[in-house]
Structure 1
Amino acid sequence: MLDAAVIVVIGRRGPHTLNRQGRLRLPASVRHQCGLTAGDRLLVVALPGQDFLVVYTPVAVGSILLAHHARARQEPGR
């Protein structure tokens, strides 16, 4: 599941919070499921007013971009 996107629901009393450095610690089960290791970079998208974050692995970002460009090539007039 390396092309995963993880949705993190923001809760005031949840067990997982931002640490003092502003980093979100993902549970080990999520990291293992997504094939993440220490130091992996992620794209984190916050949706203001929606109370959740979406965390994308590099492979997920690549897959999304490839799919987008494949569709763009198929559209007439491009």
Structure 2
Amino acid sequence: MATLDSHGRIADRSAMKGLQWSPGLRLHIKERRGLIVVSADEQGVFKVTKEGHVRLPAVVRQWCGLTAGDRVFIVAEPAGRRLVVHPPGKLDEMITQAHDAVFGGEHE
């Protein structure tokens, strides 16, 4: 879990270390089925900041309804050279689906 700051930065050293991403690395950022997918891409228009953070542009944050202070679940996928950001609404949806599968739609 990471907190989004007022500039859209995600500061999580363990994820960046696992991905072996360093400042200046070019990134491609897209929304896919409610998730934000950040991929290392030599042709990408975004970059890892000089502090080593991923910064989600305003338009990307708007796609997923993210605001400063929101907590996001991040998953580093080193084999795919990508970071997947799960916004709170998507987490709620995934948890509801998992509980429905376990409890058959019955919520006590």
Q: TM-score range by the shorter chain?
A: 0.7 to 0.9
Higher strand share: 2
Partners of 1:22 and 1:41 in 2: CA distance: 19
Point out which structure has higher relative CO (alpha carbons under 8 A, 6+ apart). 1
Q: What residue number does 1:46 align with? A: 76
TM-score, normalized by length of structure 1?
0.74
- Cα RMSD between the aligned structures? 2.0
Distance change (3 Å), C-alpha of 1:44 and 1:28: same
* TM-score, structure 2 normalization: 0.56
Provide the residue aligned with 1:63 in structure 2. Answer: 93
Q: In 1, distance between residues paired with 2:98 and 2:43?
A: 37
Question: Which structure 2 residue ranges, 5 or more long, are not aligned?
Answer: 1-32
Aligned equivalents of 2:76 and 2:62: distance in 1? 23
Counterpart CA distance in 1 for 2:68 and 2:90 is: 18
Give 1:19's aligned residue: 49
Q: Quote how far apart the aligned CAs of 1:4 are.
A: 2.3
Q: How many residue pairs align between the two structures?
A: 72
For structure 1, the residue ranges without an aligned partner over 5 or more in a row are: none
